[in-house]
Structure 1
Amino acid sequence: MRAAFADSQSDTDPLSGLVLREVPKPSPRPGWSTVRVVASSLNMHDLWTLRGVGHPPERIPIILGCDAAGYDEAGNEVIIHPVIADPDAGHGDETLDPNRALLSEQHNGAFAEYLSVPTRNVVPKPAWLSFEQAACLPVAWTTAYRMLFTQAVIRPGDRVLVQGAGGGVASAAISLAAAAGAVVYATSRSERKRAEALTWGARAVLPTGERLPERVDVVIETVGEATWSHSLRSLRPGGTLVIAGATSGTNPPAELSRIFYLQQRILGSTGGTRGELLGLLRLLEATGVRPVIDRTLPLEEIHKGFQLMIDGELTGKVVITLPDPKDLS
């Protein structure tokens, strides 16, 4: 089968380590399922692996890709929950299992014709979602769902700031928060991305760092160092900042006096649980919200997709497609 590997790592030239080659199909194993992949999507996690950030070199080579949708062995349409873990070890939350692993960290990932995962990680795909839409959900959209509804517990009417409109998690958070009845503000350096965010339901979208019309109840933060001070200044006393990434850097000013004096809550968050993926699907069905897809590319053009991500030229997700076996029959 054809697959895209992280074959080496380089902070300055990450795509030099991205290799396409033929490899054997995964072998069956007890308690695991083999999925024929039809669509997957790019995440910053893949780029961090290629850069050597958070992924030890002894786990290279490995097939990249955290998101997948396709067919199980019985021909059922499925989505893959990407967190491989034991819920019992996390007190009912598999993301708290100390030994959890996202697809492509310890186990080969989704940029391949076939994928092997624990059967628990296979979730039925609703007929109202395309494979391309479904492939956007497991990492970015479920992360945004967890940030908004599990960690921040937003309610209708809440004021929510989403930093960095245009990224996969940020675009999901804007759409989901607006669908839940929140008043959403967003920021971006890009005029084009600011215009796009308005179509997803944001009430106002401002240049990065610009003062908001009002202080907010919740900040959704994935940018990190570049927006941290603005996030705290935009948050009301007693408000909640949820952070699930730091693409601009991980060493922002602490601003501890502001945090404790204004009793602001800072919550870390990661990808979601299987139950949260199911909750996300129910919300999408109820509201009609669908993932934002910038473009689809065949596996052979995966380098192009990552270069667009590096250049910051994306609004929403890049989806990688493989031939649908039902179209070939």
Structure 2
Amino acid sequence: MEAPLLYQPLPVSMAGILTLAEHQQLYEVVSVAVQSDLFAALAEPKSAVELAREKHWETYATECLLDVLFFAGLVQNIDGFYSATAAAATYLHPNSLWRLNHLFENQERPGSLAWQLRQCLAADFQSRGRHEPDWNAERLRQIGVMGLNGSLQATVASVDLAGVSSLLDLGGGHGFYSIALAQKYPELRVTLFDLPPAASLARELVDRFGLADRITCVAGNFLTDDIGTGYDAVLCANILHGDKRDTVLPKVFAALRPGGQLIVKCRVADGVGSLQSALARLVWLTRGGKEMLRQAEWLAFLAQHGFRSLRTVNVWGIFATITGLRP
């Protein structure tokens, strides 16, 4: 599969492969629940707070776990109180004659999802220090390819860059957003700005797609370095995490020309409700995700930084695409 149009569905679908991976993730999550006797604890309805207190678990991690089990059909949620479904009570309760718990005797290897979930459930987890991930080329490539399952295409389809001449892809990482937008808008010139390992990978991929004459990859740290000015549009795809927003957004505002367009791709707490989304939310937590704001919170925060005409133009799984203008 050579140089496809990235703003369209890929010629070879990855859906079957992703489904296999999701099955493995779900198995590991259920194994933690079974080995923790969670379904015995939910013989009577409990809130997430009550369950967390009983199990000495961290509350938000408990909520994420229960969300997955709800969409998997193993717990029910009635007005915020969770209890085991008939299937879970019959086949996954440790004292049931019909228990099948032996099917979930998973050996948790360090680094596995089950192992990471247990770390997150530990009551003191939120007090531990979090470390910035190692943004090496392979990690970025993995993130980029995963985004091509429809998430990237949904964002590109939801924005209108007709007549836009210059775009800054801030923290553009793998470069697939830059490539997709340049493919869709032949008059668009893109500057991708990211750390040296990311810029190097993006440059390699841009060359492979034959777009080196229209996409410039600049190595730098957008938290400390000058990111330029006069852009018609700036894309911030999954970079506006809590500890960075107040630093980055004033620089983005200054980088846009008056009337320029802001495009934000972000994780949201009120995305599409599904098992896939619940698993994605939990995996995000286990990999160091610190927060997930609601769409209204994102809109209010961006407005506080001076952007106007803000609106959510797309929601895909746990991701939302928000656009706005610099007055």
TM-score normalised by structure 1 residue count: 0.37
Higher strand share: 1
Instruction: Give the greater-gyration-radius structure (CA).
Output: 2
TM-score normalised by structure 2 residue count: 0.37
